Amino acid sequence: MIPIAEPYLNGNEKKYVLQCLETNWISSQGDFILRLEEGLAAYHGVKYGVVTSSCTTAIHLALKAFNIGPGDEVICPDLTFIAPANMVVLSGAALVLIDVDPQTLSIDVNKLADKITCKTKAIIVVHQFGHAAPMDEILAIARGHDIKIIEDNAESIGGRYKGRLLGTFGNISCFSFFANKIITSGEGGALLTNDEELADRCRELRDHGMSKIKKYHHINLGYNYRMTNIQAAIGLAQLEQLDTILTTRMEQMCLYYKLLNDIPGISLRRFADWCEPVHWLMTMTIDDYYNRDEFLQFMRCEGVDCRQMINPVHRALHFIDKYDESDYPNSTRISAQSLHLPCSTSLQKNQVEFIVEKVKKYFCC
Ligand SMILES: Cc1ncc(COP(=O)(O)O)c(C=O)c1O
C-alpha cells in the first residue's frame, strides 16, 4: 500500500537523537530546543521562536497570551482541522465560524467584515493545504478594529504570500511538526512572534506559568506544553532540510498536475497568482456525480491509501447544534467531494504514475 504520507528522515535526525541519549538531555531542556527555536525564527526572519508540544498547544498559548477568554469572540474558518476551533472554545471565548473561499479554502474575506463585533479579539488565519490566505484584506479588516491575528501555519511552512513567507504576518504564528507535516519532530509545534513580551508570556504559560526569573515562582495559571530535546533534535535536523524538502515536493506537485490534467470528473486546486504554494497534501475534488468515499475504497483496493478531506468544523458533534449549515455552503460542498492523494516527500516518480493510472482507471472507464 502506498501510504498517504510518510516522514522523510534523511538528514541528521539519528545523529542528533543519539546526542540527546548520550548526553542524557532527553527532557524539555537542552541545546536542540534552543537551536530549533532560533533556527525557526531565523528562517522566517522573526525575532522569537517558542517550541511547544504541538501546534494545538501553540494556538492555545497564543490565545491565552492575548488574554482571550469568556466574553470575547474569536473568528476561525469553518474548513480547517479542528484544533484551532477547539482551542478557542477551551480558552472560554465564543467561536465564530466563517465559510471559506472556494479557491484559497481560507476564510472568505467577503464574509469577514460582517462577523466583526466589539467583542472580536482575534482572527485565526489558516493557510489551508499549502495555499496562502489573502493576508492584505484580512490585515486591513483586523487593523481597523485592533484585532489580533493568529496565523495557523501548521500546513504551509515555506509558502509565501506576495513574496513574503507565511508565518510572518500574525502577531503570533503557529506551526505543526506532526509526522504528516512538511517537516516533523514526531509530535511538536512552535510559535513565532516579534513581540518579546508575548514570547516571554508564552514561555511562562508553556511551563506551568512559572516565572522565567525565579524557579517555582508561579505567576500565572499555566500548562505543560513543552517540547522535549529529543523532539527538537529531530525537528532541527528536519529544518536543515526544509528547502530541499520543499523543492522535492514542488516537483512532485508539478508531476501530479501534469498527469492528472484533463481527467473527466476531477478538478485540481488552482492557486491565486499572489500565492507561492507549498505542496503539502495533493488535493483533488470530484464531480457531484461520483461518490467520494466509494472512490477512496477503490483506491485502497488498488494499493493506494488516500484520505477524505477534513470535515467542516460546524459538523463536529459538539458544534453541530450551535451553527447553521446553510451559512457554510462552500466548506460543506468542497469537503464532501474532496480528497487527498499520497504526498510523502520520498514518493517516487513511478509511484505518482502508478497512482494516476489508478485514478484514470476509475474515472476514464
Ligand atoms: C490547520 C491545522 N492546525 C492545527 C493542527 C494541529 O496540529 P498538531 O497535531 O501539531 O497539534 C493541524 C494538524 O493537522 C492543522 O492542519
Q: What are the domain boundaries of the chain?
A: 13-240, 242-363
| Per-position DSSP letters for 194-210, written without gaps between them | S-HHHHHHHHHHHBTTB
**How does 247-273 read in b/e, with b if 16+ C-beta sit within 10 Å?**
ebbbebbeebeebbeebebbeebebee
Residue 146's pLDDT is what?
Answer: 87
- Using the mean position of ligand 1's atoms as its centre, give its distance from the Cα of residue 190 in Å: 11
- The DSSP 8-state label assigned to residue 12 in this structure reads S
Query: Helices (DSSP H) in the chain: which residue ranges?
Result: 13-23, 31-44, 55-65, 83-91, 109-112, 135-143, 196-206, 229-240, 242-260, 292-301, 329-337, 349-363
109 secondary structure, DSSP code: H
φ, ψ at 124 (rounded to 5°): -95, 115
Atom of ligand 1 nearest to the CA of 57: 11
Between the CA of 56 and the centroid of ligand 1 the distance, in Å, is 6
Fold classification of 242-363 is Aspartate Aminotransferase, domain 1 (3.90.1150)
**Which atom of ligand 1 is nearest the CA belonging to 176?**
10
Residue nearest to atom 3 of ligand 1 (CA): 154
Q: How far is the CA of 142 from the centre of ligand 1 (A)?
A: 23
Tell me how long the chain is: 365
Residue 333 is predicted with a pLDDT of: 96
* Residues in contact with ligand 1 (CB, 6 Å cut-off): 54-56, 80-81, 83-84, 126, 152, 154-155, 176, 178, 189
Task: Identify which of 176, 311, 343 to mutate to test ligand 1's pocket (most ligand atoms within 8 A of the CB).
Answer: 176
Grid coordinates belonging to 62: 497564543
Q: What's the CA gap between 37 and 57, in Å, rounded?
A: 16
Query: Which residue has the least CA distance to atom 8 on ligand 1?
Result: 55
Ligand 1 atom closest to the CA of 177, numbered from 1: 10
Closest atom of ligand 1 to 56 CA is 11
Task: Give 123 Cα–ligand 1 centroid separation in angstroms.
Answer: 16
User: How far does residue 22's CA lie from ligand 1's centre (Å)?
Assistant: 32
Interval between CA 183 and ligand 1 midpoint (Å) = 13
The per-residue pLDDT for 144 is 85
CA of 155 to the centre of ligand 1 (A): 7
pTM (two decimals): 0.98
How far apart are the CA of 263 and the centre of ligand 1, in A?
31
CA of 154 to the centre of ligand 1 (A): 5
Span 37-59, pLDDT tens digits: 999 999 999 999 999 999 999 99
Q: Which CATH class is domain 13-240?
A: alpha beta
CA 76 – CA 78 distance, rounded (Å)? 6
Q: How far is the CA of 202 from the CAs of 84, 148, 208, in angstroms?
A: 17, 15, 10
* Interval 281-314: pLDDT, tens: 999 999 999 999 999 999 999 999 999 999 999 9
Q: Rounded to an integer, what distance in angstroms lies between the CA atom of residue 361 and that of residue 365? A: 6
Give the residues across from 122 on adjacent strands. 74, 148
The stretches in the chain having pLDDT less than 50 are none
Pocket test for ligand 1, best of 52, 104, 127, 155 (most atoms within 8 A of CB): 155
Residue 193 has phi, psi (to 5 degrees) of -160, 155
Strands 160-161 and 164-165: antiparallel
